Structure 1
Amino acid sequence: MKSILALFALLLSLPAAAAQLTIELDHASKTWQTADLLKHPQAQTVQIVDDVSYKRSMTYRAVPLAALLPGLKPANHLQAVALDGFAAELTAAPLLAKTGARAWLAVEDPAHPWPALAQGKPSAGPFYMVWTHPQAGHISPEQWPFQVSRIKQLQTVAERFPALLPDPKLAADDPVNLGFALFQKNCLACHRLNGAGDAQMGPDLNIPYNPTEYFGGDFLKRYIRDPQSLRHWPQAKMPAFAASVLPDNELDLLLGYLQHMAGRKQQP
């Protein structure tokens, strides 16, 4: 057992290796190598203040994500899939923006590897979606996927997973539908609901029980704001959703959607 742990520690300490990223769009598909991205004509050095994953300022060699998505339209939908099964659902519009909050693909140079995310863990590489001026677009932590291996164009979440949909009788601007949009942005990268979704990390949020059914008082809000304050364990991955990222009114809308879906359980 000790020898296995020693080997694992050695693997984590090895320099970053060159990697590849596949981008699959409906009209085109391309696999990028690390070296090609590092020398991309639009690659530049960017500084990220308050990096979501490293919790400090970081500097990366990065390519504007829009430059890697030719022909994509703002209304299109993408999914960024990470090595650990994290699957971030992303509306194309923010990714294509060239002002305000701007998305970049940070590329880890094997000759200059990034630091580990934590002791015993790998870095955020080989590819990491980062944002400059994220506050201008209310970018959530789930929109910073790291260890990305593939980006692919898909139908919208509502088209792919009807089991996530609120009651169709509700108006488009009903608070529950607004909460559904926030669920897609903030939760679906890690969680499924009614068995629907592509994520493989967190538990299903409706089967067998919805968290609104077993969190009393304001504990569910407190858990979303700071998960480690209620359930602390070293391998926890759920990020804290600060009010600057998920304002109180949006958190209430999100909880409204979850409470609504507690009455719409579907077995997968």
Structure 2
Amino acid sequence: MDGDHLKALTLFGALLLSMPLSAAQLNLELGASSRTWQTEQLLKHPQVQTITITNDVSYKRDMSYRAVPLAALLTGIKPDDHLQAVALDGFAAELAAAPLLDTQGARAWLAIEDPAKPWPPLSEGKHSAGPFYLVWTDPQAGNISPEQWPFEVASIKRMAPVAERFPALLPDPALKADNPVNKGFALFQKNCLACHRLNGAGDAQFGPDLNIPFSPTEYFGADFLKRYIRDPQSLRQWPQAKMPAFATTVLPEGDLELLVGYLKHMAGRKVKP
């Protein structure tokens, strides 16, 4: 490619990033109460308000948004339902409905990017977190993980539970419901499944499979695996790394033990995709 062509592509890319935002739509696929919302409609929602998020997970600083309580949009959804938030890039966050419906403690909000007042890019050369971004006030009250902050959200769907959709993820059925491995499975769904598959099962398109061909428990020493989950960049550094750090406020030490216990258990239950 000659210099003129390269310069033209660079200018075109800069032009795209500088173009004014257009309105977007959010698809809520909730069964009988499904609905499509336009940006303008959400910005005029009767419950819309300005909220401040302290140390925003994606922007790494305090941010203010026009936002609607997510519970106000989840018509017909019950606490024991299961939802999936799908981003424009295919990221699929698995979300238990109960925390999304809470009005006390950790509270979920749909932040709406106003085309007239666009949000800053997430990093140089990148887009913003818009057009829609699931954010939380007081996230520490609910041990909300980084995977529960999907940005560039395009749709929110009611889905069958993960265990029904992906039986290859299930621990040994002989284990009792309160077995630590089953508790670790629940934590895996909350913290890992948005980016990783296991035994080829899951909707994730980002991180590697965590069991095929090998589980990280088979090639990481236990202490180093925990350290990697706590702070990936402390062990492996590269510019395009996307795995977030899981602080003790998000994943307490006991929960980390349970999560690693599930991965160890599943290393003995490999199912080739």
Give the CA RMSD over aligned residues. Answer: 1.1
Distance, in Å, in 1 between the alignment partners of 2:225 and 2:149 is 23
Q: CA deviation at 1:27?
A: 1.7
Q: 1 CA distance for matches of 2:176 and 2:104?
A: 32
Q: Is the contact made by 1:48 and 1:57 (CA closer than 8 Å) also made in structure 2?
A: yes
Greater mean alpha carbon deviation, residues 6-15 or residues 54-63: 6-15
Following superposition, the deviation at residue 120 of structure 1 comes to: 1.3
More divergent stretch after superposition (210-219 vs 135-144): 210-219
Summarize the Cα distance change of 1:4–1:132 in structure 2 as closer, same or farther, 3 Å threshold.
Answer: same
Over 3 Å counting, the alpha-carbon distance change for 1:170 and 1:142 in structure 2 is same
Provide the TM-score with structure 2 as the length reference. 0.96
2:46 to 41, 45, 50: 41
Instruction: Give, in angstroms, the shift of residue 5 of structure 1.
Output: 3.7
Q: Check 1:223–1:76 CA distance in 2 against 1; reply closer, same or farther (3 A cut).
A: same
| Residue pairs, 1:24-39, within 5 angstroms | 24-39=29-44
Structure 1: tracts of 5 or more residues without a match: none
Q: Secondary structure at the match of 2:31?
A: coil
**Corresponding residue for 1:178?**
183
Return the offset for 1:241: 0.5
Secondary structure of 1:212 counterpart: helix
Q: Match for 1:224 among 215, 225, 229? A: 229
Q: Is 2:98 the partner of 1:93?
A: yes
CA shift for structure 1 position 6: 3.5
Q: CA deviation at 1:217?
A: 4.4
The residue identity in structure 1 corresponding to 2:41 is: D
User: Normalization by structure 1: what TM-score?
Assistant: 0.97
For 1:75, which of 80, 101, 113 is the aligned residue? 80
Alpha-carbon contact 1:16-1:108 (below 8 Å) kept: no
Partner of 2:118: 113
Stretch deviating more after TM superposition (190-199 or 212-221): 212-221
Q: Which residue of 2 aligns with 1:266?
A: 271
Cross-structure match for 2:15: 10
Give the distance between the partners of 1:25 and 1:174, measured in 2 at CA.
32
Q: CA deviation at 1:114?
A: 0.4
Q: Does 1:245 align with 2:262?
A: no
Per the alignment, residue 62 of structure 1 pairs with 67
> Mean alpha-carbon deviation: is it higher for 185-194 or for 221-230?
221-230
Contact 1:102 1:134 in 2 (8 A): yes
In 1, Cα distance between the equivalents of 2:221 and 2:37?
Answer: 48
CA-CA distance at 1:199 after TM superposition = 1.0
Corresponding position of 2:55: 50
Q: Alignment partner of 1:218: what SS?
A: helix
Q: CA deviation at 1:12?
A: 2.4
Shift of 1:118: 0.9
- Alpha-carbon offset, residue 121 of structure 1: 1.1
